[in-house]
Structure 1
Amino acid sequence: MSIKEVAMSTVDVVPLVDEGLGNSAYLVDLGDGRALVVDVSLDLRASWYAARQRGLRVAFAADTHLHADFLSGARQLSATEGTRVLASAAGRREFTHHGLRDGDEVDLGGLRLRTLGTPGHTHEHLSFLLLDGDRPAGVFTGGSLLVGSAARTDLVAPEETEALARAQYASLRRLAALPDDVAVWPTHGAGSFCSAPPGADRVSTIGREKATNPLLCKQDEDDFVTALLESLGSFPPYFLRLGEINRRGPAVLDRTPGLAGLDVATVRAMLAEGARLVDVRPVPEFAAAHVPGALSIPLRPAFASWLGWLAPHDRPLIILRAADQDPAEIAWQATKIGYLDLAGELTGGIDSWTADGHPTTGTRLVGPGQVEGRVLDIRQAAEFASGHLPGALHVELGDLAHRADEVPDGPLVVMCGHGERAMGAASLLEQTGHRDLAVLTGGPDDWAAVTGRHPESGR
């Protein structure tokens, strides 16, 4: 998670960017030793650091909506720091908070927050207009207006997707009525599964979005709805659980997340009883040797999303990591998406497993110039359509566990864009009995550069 300052007149707003989830939280210096945070996750490390660096106490925590992609940190702040939680009254949260409705204002001590009802991403969604005196400085748009897009409307229920898309249209028109120089501070950004497009910019202005946002430029409601619904891709299954957990209130952490050490005998016993082993080492290390049946999810910024997509949430998870990988980072990433009770980690990693005489297996790696025979591309549908190897079979990684029987037996080259997701796919296929698998260390562009051939487009 990174921190980037944005100073606007007398208002000091600090975006706290979670590159892995593709989201931004915000810390606002209220100018009197206190701070407001907006849409912070349960991984509060960046907000704690930003507040300490400025000598601030987090007095307010505002949530724009019931988040589906992370556990909110607002209740944790309330319980541990006495922070006042600001959230939609319509969200019916079951923990102490100040319920807000459209048009309500909260005095922050010089600055004010005015709530704007902006349903669409969720029913109870609010945007927060930050007022400096009577001047609107910026608006926290959460999952409503995004930079270059609008957030998806299919996370509540399939039958409500279109109605929520029409509500999203009205919400964006309402936001567009704000002055052009008002800053736009969305929660979802590039890399988020909540429909944010790729791109480096995570903040914008109302004027810029009116001029350049393809969805905001659509004046006809039906055209807007069609474009929004056609842009919707798949999303991790944990999105369907976290909204309700956030409504009830995430459990308050009584200690810093970590990984307890487990010896080989304990790990073997737990695996025999149904636990899953998640190997977070880099692709080359997993390829060289791994515990048979282990699930490969390399530790990187996107680790949490793929853990939530591929690993069961109702079975104990055991981590196997490299010696130089940070166990705290693994635990925090798991915690923020609701994996609060990791069983622990294999003490000594793969070396202790082999030293105890237990077998390992490997997965072959191939370069872009070594692709032969059948290819399985496990990227998202939009990625596949933009360019893929000729004749490649396509099954999204998120669907693979349920569609493994559609995948032919090897020899088979599994590919994504760089190799991390492909190794996860290969590990899933190995669990279902597939053999003679190889993983491509690259993507279509690497293949094209080496072979001189052009990827195919379309589905």
Structure 2
Amino acid sequence: MFFIDTIDLEGLGNRSYLAGGRQAAVAVDPPRDVDQVLAVAARRGVRISYVVETHIHNDYVTGGLELARVTGAVYLVPAAARVSFARVPVADGDIIAVDGGLELRAVATPGHTPHHTSYVLQEQGRSVAVFTGGSLLIGTVGRPDLVEPRLTEQLARAQHASAHRLAAELPDETPVLPTHGFGSFCSSAQAEGDATTIGKEKSVNAALVQDVESFVARLLVELDDIPAYYAHMGPANAAGPAPLDLTPPAVADADEIAARLAAGEWVVDLRNRVAFAEGHVAGSFNFEADGKIATYLAWMIPWGKPVTLLAESPEQLAAAQRELVRVGIDRPAAAAAGTPQQWVREGDRPVSFPRSTFAGLVEHGTDGIVVLDVRRDAERAAGYVEGSVHIPIHQLHKRLGEVPNGTVWVHCGGGMRAAIAASLLDAAGRDVVAIDDGFEAAEAAGLSIVTG
């Protein structure tokens, strides 16, 4: 008998896996906070004998090297991946005995990266699952443009061929277990549903239902923006990430918070957007702990700039710190848990800004105000509010000077990014209203939507 346990990294939109038998297991694409994987192995009562990487990751810092170190497991990395640490190279066709009759078979599936490798889990020679990393995903494939722009078309063609190889070699009932596709920007599109098989993908996956020319042409057109922090993830993983430190950061009082703001550092408020709008430290930015904090904070903050975290509880701080180490923001400069009244110096008061909806925008009227759309280019291409200004959220902190004069009503697709944008504008001294509403409500409210 075998088991497969899934470790969800919801903030990054990824999954990691632990698969094994009665005594031993293999960890696939583990996160940097390896205590999660160790806890799963402990519950199963198995030792981790192998740690495998499907590829050198571009969207998060791997825990593979550290997990192998603390468990004594063999660390398997695709042979063609250029790394600076000791590992056991894996090549196409290699068989790794995991536990009894349970084994992994390496299958070269280039496309997401040139060295990408999938692993077929076999029990007594029968294929029972395939770990596809960033190759074949649920309804799509991993994007091919993260390694080198000049290789993008070549890797897109390789993705098509790799998907067809998996479909040809594996039974239709084989579960497909990808690492990406659940919100990660490593995916060329987002998954619909959370489970699939080779047979299902044969009928719905563009890589398997389109010819290579049609697939490549469409894939290249639909590629989305690349988070800026991705530029740092591949090199960190190739060099070998340092062990993480999740001990609590130094506690900041009101004077230190003010001093750090005055020094141009980032002070990030993790509370929900409603609470932030009602009262916050002037100059602080709002990245909700329950949102995609790791993706958007790492995307927007100048790399290496000190960050101070503010939260409503120590638990919220700890959870955010865990999210951030996964993307290489290792140690907050300082932190504080409590309320805005505790974070401002004596004699100062928290500041606020209003929230509204698209219906509220219609009621107010658009004359004399700025409607700012902070969605990505691909989202705006599907439809936008007539007369609105467009600056994607990940560019806004560098383009604040381009926002026209006047009160800014800012929106995104659901409210979270609008809250980030509103906090940036508020910190810059602009009058702002955060539209906390789904974009689908814009047309229903009576706004004119431009499409095409």
Using the size of structure 2 for normalisation, the TM-score is 0.92
Paired position in structure 2 for 1:428: 424
Q: Partners of 2:221 and 2:149 in 1: how far apart?
A: 14
- The partner residue of 2:438 within 426, 443, 453 is 443
Paired position in structure 2 for 1:230: 221
Determine helix, strand or coil for the equivalent of 1:159. helix
- The partner residue of 2:328 within 338, 343, 361 is 338
1:279 aligns with 2:269: yes
Q: Partners of 1:198 and 1:308 in 2: how far apart?
A: 20
Paired position in structure 2 for 1:401: 397
Q: Give CA deviations for 1:109-164 in whole Å, capped at 9, x if unaligned.
A: 22111111111111211111111121111211101111101111111122221121
1:414 aligns with 2:404: no
The amino acid across from 1:120 in the alignment is G
Paired position in structure 2 for 1:186: 178
Q: Is the 8 A contact 1:378 1:396 kept in 2?
A: yes
1:50 aligns with 2:40: yes
Q: Which residues of 2 match residues 240-389 of structure 1 at below 5 A?
A: 240-253=231-244, 255-323=245-313, 326-346=316-336, 348-354=338-344, 356-371=346-361, 372-373=365-366, 374-389=370-385
Q: Partners of 2:291 and 2:278 in 1: how far apart?
A: 23
Paired position in structure 1 for 2:152: 161
Alpha-carbon shift at residue 346 of structure 1 (Å): 2.9
The two structures, once aligned, show a CA RMSD in angstroms of 2.0
Q: Partners of 2:296 and 2:416 in 1: how far apart?
A: 10
The amino acid across from 1:89 in the alignment is A
Alpha-carbon shift at residue 41 of structure 1 (Å): 0.9
Paired position in structure 2 for 1:66: 56
Mean Cα displacement is larger for which, 63-72 or 153-162?
153-162
1:457 aligns with 2:448: no
Q: Partners of 2:241 and 2:51 in 1: how far apart?
A: 15
Q: Is the 8 A contact 2:300 2:395 kept in 1?
A: no
Alpha-carbon shift at residue 44 of structure 1 (Å): 2.9
Unaligned runs of 5+ in 2: none
Q: 1:117 to 1:19 in 2, by over 3 A?
A: same
Q: Partners of 1:191 and 1:341 in 2: how far apart?
A: 25
Q: 1:347 to 1:11 in 2, by over 3 A?
A: closer
Using the size of structure 1 for normalisation, the TM-score is 0.91
Q: Give CA deviations for 1:393-425 in whole Å, capped at 9, x if unaligned.
A: 222111222332322122221001232211111
Alpha-carbon shift at residue 324 of structure 1 (Å): 7.3
Alpha-carbon shift at residue 188 of structure 1 (Å): 0.6
Structure 1 residue runs of 4+, over 4 Å off? none
Unaligned runs of 5+ in 1: 1-9
- The partner residue of 1:137 within 125, 128, 131 is 128
Q: Is the 8 A contact 2:291 2:416 kept in 1?
A: no
The amino acid across from 1:277 in the alignment is V
Alpha-carbon shift at residue 430 of structure 1 (Å): 3.4
The amino acid across from 1:336 in the alignment is R
Q: 1:288 to 1:23 in 2, by over 3 A?
A: same
Q: Partners of 2:341 and 2:349 in 1: how far apart?
A: 11
Number of paired residues? 444
Q: Partners of 1:359 and 1:171 in 2: how far apart?
A: 59
Determine helix, strand or coil for the equivalent of 1:204. coil
Determine helix, strand or coil for the equivalent of 2:207. coil
Q: Partners of 2:70 and 2:348 in 1: how far apart?
A: 45
Q: Give CA deviations for 1:247-271 in whole Å, capped at 9, x if unaligned.
A: 1111013x43433312222333333
Q: Partners of 2:263 and 2:28 in 1: how far apart?
A: 42
Q: 1:273 to 1:391 in 2, by over 3 A?
A: closer
Q: Is the 8 A contact 1:215 1:227 kept in 2?
A: no
1:206 aligns with 2:202: no
